[in-house]
A and B are shown apart, each in its own frame.
Chain A
Amino acid sequence: MEFGLSEEQVMLQQSVGRFLEDAGGLAQTRALAASGARRTPDLVTGLSELGVMGLITPESQGGTGLSLLEAALVAEQLGAHVSPTPFIGTAILAPLALQLAGSPGQQGLWLPRLAAGQVTAGLALSEQAGGREDAGLEGRNGILNGRALFVIDYEADLYVVADTAGRLYLVPATAPGLVRTDLTTIDVSRPTGELRFTGVVAEPLAGAGPDLVQRLLDVARLLFAADTLGAAQAMLDQAVAYASSREQFGRPIGSFQAVKHMCAEMAAALEPCRAMVWYGAHALDHLPSEAHVTACHTKAHVSEVGTFVARTATEVHGGMGFTDLVGLHYWFKRIGLNRQMLGGPQALRDEAARATGLVS
């Protein structure tokens, strides 16, 4: 019985955190947003050197061969540093889909290149969790038609896309008939967009089906929750530091109970989320009967707590919290995007209720 992180896991978390810090943290996200660039090749290269881009890829394919718990620890660090790097699609979902449903040829072609950071991969999954407008992809005889919105790791060389029947396909970004439209969201740290397919010839992942799509959704949800955990912790840490140093009425504002209780409420709500994310990741790795419901609950609950922390930490900063100068809003918006992706809290609670037989 051991419910906690191993030394190696803590080291991984620290080394990723240090790398992102050295890379500039928020300053890097700001610079990227200001320049209008949407890609971060240096980050991808650096993270691949740390083994992050091939985190769950077997060593025989050039990866690190770790589990989803480690993936959650990395996601937490990316959220903490509002990092503009691709990860969930490129490092986790695409390799997972390839490992579980790709042919040996597809695996050999793509897995090592993804792990090495030579290729990035986006995931078109949103329509599987509740499509918006008339989006959705029809796949017939390997030909795709339709739209996919809110692609994860959208700035990519390769896409893994799901059709309405739950089949998966590989589509290069340069495929004829594929038109990309950038979407501007609140969150500049993770560019997204829409893919429009008109008669695109796509290469199926032969082993894929609705079960794999469900698995990808659950993994992605857990990782969005982990990202929110990191982002919310970063906001809480900043609020505590600010309240402890900012003085009004001749004393630190953090000595006023009205302010310190806001911080206590954030910590009290957030700290159990850490264990919940660990447990949810562990369930995805080892407890198949619990994995789906736990992923739904984890993303729903951590999103609720994240939203509360995002708002409260901003408020603790007073007027400065509202400014771009302090930059808290980058985390606020990151948490906001994570919350909406692949099902908000209400939708996920409904899904958990259905999965546990509470809906007749």
Chain B
Amino acid sequence: MDLSYSPEHEAFRGEVRSFLETHGTQAPRGGGPEALAWQTLLIAHGYAARTIPKAYGGFGAEPDILKSRIISEEFSRAQVSTGLGGQGISMLVPTLLEMGTEAQKRDFIGPTLRGEMVWCQGYSEPNAGSDLANLATRGTLDGDDWVINGQKIWTSTAHLADWIFCLVRTEPDAPKHQGISFLLFSMKTPGIEIRPLVDMTGAANFNEVFFTDVRVPKEQIVGRRGEGWKVANTILGHERGSLADPNQMQTRLNALIDLMRTETVGGVRAIDNPVFRDRLMAIQGRVLALRCNDLRLLSAAVNHQGAGLAGLVVKLQGTELRHELEALAIDVMGEMGTLYGDTPGLRDQGSWQRNYMYFLGLIIGGGTSQIQKNIISERGLGMPREPKLAQA
């Protein structure tokens, strides 16, 4: 047990801090051209796309989990943007690095990293949610093109995306997990219709996407025909853990404490109400437990060890806890906790209400809590699987 960092890593932390002192004020608050310039600067210094090979537009550093952690800690401390995110960078780039052809890596990774090519993910469908492999969007080979027909749903940022990485059933006669291919195509291709899906927070980040005879050149496939499930699963695990970062939770907890120190009901500060305070402290204890668990995961990753159950529980525990944390803030505010949108008296830009709803979305998205419990019990505890009732 040793929670200290090596001199090399402490020196690296110093470099990151001095970068932030010099350049931190240039960091963009929103999107636009400034965000792209910031991204380019971050890649040049190795604070974004750090371990992506130089040949593909990255910084080309050796993987070092602690250095990545230091970057994220220091940027978070300085409250400076860590650059562009999105499913292209977080999911497609690692997938292409593992499974893409040389041409695909050269054509797609660089522009994606620089923010010149924005992606959306075409996985879920109306009848393929938790049972994703049940997807029915069809791809039929016609000459040199795949012809795609069907519908996707929950497609984040489809309205902003230039391209889509999409799971399509190309082998209708194969068993369901072996009949899927992983295709890449432009969202400007004729035959694509995007309809926004307004969620309970009032935002419309999700969309429904309809494909009618969309023609995609047949070489725009990652992996072989029928290997799409395997390709998609090479990185699906990444998404789950990242939905519940305990360090972000600590930042939010600190904001909750600030709120409880200022918010009064009947002249009494919320923090002085023993019932609210006990709820706060219980949440603080649970956040601490997840932060300790996160240290264990970090250490396991540094040593190239599997994390087992400690990793499998993060999405379930983290999203549920975050939802409860936001809920406490709403209770603390009493009637003021119902204010939402542009209205007098609103606290913290309405973030507590918005996050309370948004995190219910994350409890469901990325594998529902019930699916997480199946995974924990079957893969983590080795319990018997549900008997298969019908074979697809």
Contacts and interface: CB of A to CB of B under 8 A. Distances in A.
Interface of A: 1-6, 69, 240, 243-244, 251-252, 254-257, 260-261, 263-265, 267-269, 271-276, 278-279, 282, 294, 297-298, 300-301, 304, 345-346, 349-350, 352-353, 358-360
**Which of B284, B289, B381, B386 has the most chain A CB atoms inside 10 A of its CB?**
B289
Contacts of B271: 358, 360
B11 interface: no
29 contacts: A1-B299, A2-B1, A240-B382, A244-B383, A251-B387, A254-B377, A257-B373, A260-B377, A261-B377, A264-B372, A264-B376, A267-B313, A267-B377, A267-B381, A268-B372, A268-B376, A269-B317, A274-B296, A275-B310, A276-B288, A279-B295, A282-B3, A297-B288, A298-B288, A300-B281, A300-B285, A353-B277, A358-B280, A360-B272
B4 A346 contact: no
A219 to B, nearest CB: 17
**Which of B66, B282, B286, B383 has the most chain A CB atoms inside 10 A of its CB?**
B383
Contacts of B292: 272, 275-276, 278-279
A255 B299 contact: no
B285 A271 contact: no
Nearest to B381: A240
Contacts of B281: 297, 300, 349-350, 352-353, 358
Nearest to B271: A358
B288 A346 contact: no
A1 B288 contact: no
A243 B387 CA distance: 15
A1 B69 CA distance: 12
Interface string B73-101: 00000000000000000000000000000
**Which of B278, B281, B374, B378 has the most chain A CB atoms inside 10 A of its CB?**
B281
Contacts, number: 162
A180 B272 CA distance: 42
Contacts of B200: none
B316 interface: yes
A352 B281 CA distance: 8
Name B's interface SS: helix
A301 B288 contact: yes
Nearest to A360: B272
B243 interface: no
The 4 closest A-B pairs by CB, nearest first: A349-B281, A264-B373, A275-B292, A301-B285
Interface string B292-318: 110110111011000001100100110
Q: Kindly state the interface size class of chain B when it binds its partner.
A: 35 or more
Contacts of A350: 274, 277-278, 281
A345 B283 CA distance: 12
A283 B195 CA distance: 53
B235 interface: no
Given A260-B373, A261-B373, A346-B278, A268 B1 contact: no
A1 B310 contact: no
B2 interface: yes
A358 B257 contact: yes
Nearest to A6: B1
Contacts of A1: 2-6, 9, 66, 298-299, 302
A271 B377 contact: no
Interface of B: 1-6, 9, 66, 257, 269, 271-272, 274, 277-278, 280-282, 284-286, 288-290, 292-293, 295-296, 298-300, 302-303, 309-310, 313, 316-317, 370, 372-374, 376-378, 380-387
Contact of B383 (A6, A263, A274, A301): A263
A275 B384 CA distance: 27
Contacts of B370: 257, 261
A148 B387 CA distance: 57
A257 B374 contact: yes
Contacts of B384: 244, 251-252, 254-255, 260
B380 A267 contact: yes
Name A's interface SS: helix
A240 B383 contact: yes
Contacts of A352: 281, 284-285
Contact of A271 (B3, B282, B293, B378): B293
A254 B1 contact: no
B285 to A, nearest CB: 4
A222 to B, nearest CB: 13
A298 B293 CA distance: 13
Contacts of B313: 267-268, 271-272
A299 to B, nearest CB: 9
A240 B378 CA distance: 11
B381 A275 contact: no
**Which of B277, B286, B290, B292 has the most chain A CB atoms inside 10 A of its CB?**
B292
B388 to A, nearest CB: 11
A109 B9 CA distance: 47
A273 B285 CA distance: 10
Contacts of A298: 285, 288
A263 B1 contact: no
A273 B269 CA distance: 32
A278 B309 CA distance: 16
Contacts of B295: 3, 275, 279
A5 B310 CA distance: 15
Contacts of B298: 1, 3
Contact of A358 (B277, B300, B317): B277
Contacts of A346: 278
Given A255-B386, A271-B309, A264 B285 contact: no
A350 B271 CA distance: 12
Contacts of A256: 386
A3 B3 contact: yes
A252 B384 CA distance: 7
A69 B285 CA distance: 20
A69 B292 CA distance: 14
B289 A275 contact: yes
A253 B386 CA distance: 10
A237 B385 CA distance: 17
Contacts of A304: 282, 285
Nearest to B1: A282
A273 B289 contact: yes
B54 to A, nearest CB: 27
A300 B287 CA distance: 13
A268 B289 contact: no
A131 B225 CA distance: 72
B376 A267 contact: yes
Given A255-B385, A275-B292, A275-B310, 20 more contacts: A1-B302, A3-B298, A5-B1, A244-B384, A251-B387, A257-B370, A260-B373, A260-B381, A260-B383, A267-B376, A272-B289, A272-B313, A275-B296, A276-B293, A282-B1, A294-B288, A345-B282, A349-B278, A352-B284, A358-B281
